[in-house]
Structure 1
Amino acid sequence: MTTSSTTLPAVHRRFVETASGAIHIATAGAGFPLLLLHQTPRSWDEFRDVIPLLAQKFKVIAMDTIGFGDSCRLPMAEHSIERWARVSFELLDALGIQHAAVAGHHTGAVTALEMAASQPQRISALVLSSCPLNDAARRAAHAGRRTIDEVERATDGKHLTELWSRRQPYYPAGNIELMERYIVDAVKAGDMASHGHHVVSHYVMEERLPLLASPTLLIQATDDPHASPYAPKLAAAIPGSKLVAIKGGMVPLPDQLPQEFSDVVAAFLMDQNL
């Protein structure tokens, strides 16, 4: 799938009006639709280098989850994985897309899972990258805990360095650009940077897993301690699913290793004849 960068499809950005408000998207390519969903507190930018690679085969749509990036906001109490999944379908409806593949990373994987559980007839293939297994045990373990992106704003800006220091151990050493891209999205998200993690921790995933019917790929980033341990358990819980490990992958897998990520996703989707 490797191609000279001069021939890669161009990425276009715009806003799409949905029943919930304006959703910001980045799109490229033509072919079968592939919706990309980012982790908390990122934006479409998490897939900035992935989009043109996958757009060689597919019509790629990377959305800013409602409340993140440049998409519209909701009252805090209205956020849930189920609502995020509904908004994602609202976006597909506004684009005139009835059937799509969906690939999500971390939080985005949980939203993608709910999309496939709630409307399986519309999800032709499902890719869960670094997806947590948010069962009763995990919900209990995370109840009341401070999230990784939860910092108190300070007038001297020290909360920015705190955000940096809390995330840095899970990012490639010395990669300042990836950390800066994270910081930009975290600052833009504001309180949602922390709240997005609480949204995931309240999702009752074990009741939704039996509803999955779409062909499913699980991507395991081997050096992501927050998600990697769950991958074999999720694979066992989703009959017929395929598990692929990306060696050296960390929390920012799509923007850390875009070629490897894109190759794995594209190969799986092409195996489904999409």
Structure 2
Amino acid sequence: MQSTTSPIRRQFIHTSAGPLHVASAGAGFPVLLLHQTPRSWDEFREVLPLLGQGFHAIAIDTIGFGDSCKLPLEQHSIERWAQLALEVMDGMGLQKAAVVGHHTGAVTAMEMAAASPQRVAALVLSSCPFNDAARRTAHAGKRTIDDVEVRADGSHLQELWQRRQPFYPEGDTELLTRFIGDAIKAGAMASHGHIVVRNYRMEERIGQVRAPTLVLRAGRDPHAAPYADHIAAAIHGSRLQTLEEGMVPLPDQIPARFAQAVMEFLQQHC
């Protein structure tokens, strides 16, 4: 893959819930990028210019995260997030796009494809969990990974770092620092975003996906890798690809490998 040459542009798009922040690069067929909880467009900071070499790559800060506006916790749902992503497309004059989501973003991307198949040309589900009734029951009421009690001495930030550290490359403080910055900005949504995913009835929606789909598995992600085969089997005609060294922060851990996998798939379908 060539070196990055496409500059990143940033703007706000008005939606029914308020302004959402987006970062974009390149020109051509639009590719929407949706981040995990509690990250922001920064998860795709290195990916955007790479995809921008062949596409119009657009990373959205999900409402409640990054620089996007806030909502009361009870107003968040995967369905609402999917609708707002479609409103961003409207605001940018995009009738159709490929949609790439990672972790939480993959769940939102799936709902977009199920709810508005005419607007999703292709789908990439990176590290997508499978949230059915059994998983909802198993996780009901349990503490999420990013649920820490804020303390005046700031020790909750160390706790959050340590809770996440096992799922990041050993010794890589940069990725964890970027994560902590986004978690601080998200506030209560850092934990609540995981609950939003828990509440989604995926088993009722996954069968509605008709878009060409790439299921991208991060081989060293214990939270999502076990679900990849099931998700691929549930989406007719989908393709499964594994990046063996990938961990929870896949897009910013190995951005070139991630972008290459996405580009090779989209070049066949967009």
Question: 1:67-108 CA deviation, whole Å, 9 max, x = no partner?
Answer: 000000111111000000000001100111010000000000
Question: 1:12-41 CA deviation, whole Å, 9 max, x = no partner?
Answer: 111111121100010110000000000000
* SS at 1:223 equivalent: coil
Amino acid in structure 1 at the alignment position of 2:245: G
Moved beyond 4 Å, runs of 4+: none
Once residues 17 and 199 of structure 2 are traced to their aligned partners in structure 1, the CA distance between those partners, rounded to angstroms, is 22
Question: 1:109-138 CA deviation, whole Å, 9 max, x = no partner?
Answer: 000000000000100000000000001111
Q: Counterpart of 1:50?
A: 47
Q: Counterpart of 1:18?
A: 15
Amino acid in structure 2 at the alignment position of 1:122: R
Amino acid in structure 1 at the alignment position of 2:101: G
Amino acid in structure 1 at the alignment position of 2:226: P
* SS at 2:137 equivalent: helix
1:27 to 24, 28, 35: 24
Question: 1:167-223 CA deviation, whole Å, 9 max, x = no partner?
Answer: 000000000000000000000000000000000000000000111110000000000
Once residues 32 and 67 of structure 2 are traced to their aligned partners in structure 1, the CA distance between those partners, rounded to angstroms, is 17
Question: 1:55-76 CA deviation, whole Å, 9 max, x = no partner?
Answer: 0010010010000000001111
- By how many angstroms is 1:4 displaced? 2.6
Q: Counterpart of 2:114?
A: 117
Once residues 33 and 269 of structure 1 are traced to their aligned partners in structure 2, the CA distance between those partners, rounded to angstroms, is 11
Taking the TM superposition and a 5 Å limit, the aligned residue runs for 1:131-170 are 131-170=128-167
> Unaligned 5+ residue runs, structure 1?
none
- By how many angstroms is 1:146 displaced? 0.2
What percent identity do the matched residue pairs reach? 62
Taking the TM superposition and a 5 Å limit, the aligned residue runs for 1:65-214 are 65-214=62-211
Once residues 231 and 210 of structure 1 are traced to their aligned partners in structure 2, the CA distance between those partners, rounded to angstroms, is 15
What is the count of residue pairs matched by the alignment? 270
Q: Counterpart of 2:3?
A: 4
1:267 to 253, 264, 268: 264
* SS at 1:22 equivalent: strand
Taking the TM superposition and a 5 Å limit, the aligned residue runs for 1:243-254 are 243-254=240-251
Question: 1:206-251 CA deviation, whole Å, 9 max, x = no partner?
Answer: 0001111100000000000000000001111111000000011000
* SS at 1:219 equivalent: strand
Once residues 207 and 115 of structure 2 are traced to their aligned partners in structure 1, the CA distance between those partners, rounded to angstroms, is 11
> Unaligned 5+ residue runs, structure 2?
none
Once residues 187 and 20 of structure 1 are traced to their aligned partners in structure 2, the CA distance between those partners, rounded to angstroms, is 22
Once residues 131 and 53 of structure 1 are traced to their aligned partners in structure 2, the CA distance between those partners, rounded to angstroms, is 22
TM-score, length basis structure 1: 0.98
Once residues 189 and 15 of structure 2 are traced to their aligned partners in structure 1, the CA distance between those partners, rounded to angstroms, is 20
Q: Counterpart of 1:257?
A: 254
Once residues 51 and 4 of structure 1 are traced to their aligned partners in structure 2, the CA distance between those partners, rounded to angstroms, is 12
Once residues 47 and 103 of structure 1 are traced to their aligned partners in structure 2, the CA distance between those partners, rounded to angstroms, is 11
TM-score, length basis structure 2: 0.99
* SS at 1:165 equivalent: helix
Once residues 140 and 251 of structure 1 are traced to their aligned partners in structure 2, the CA distance between those partners, rounded to angstroms, is 23
Q: Counterpart of 2:36?
A: 39
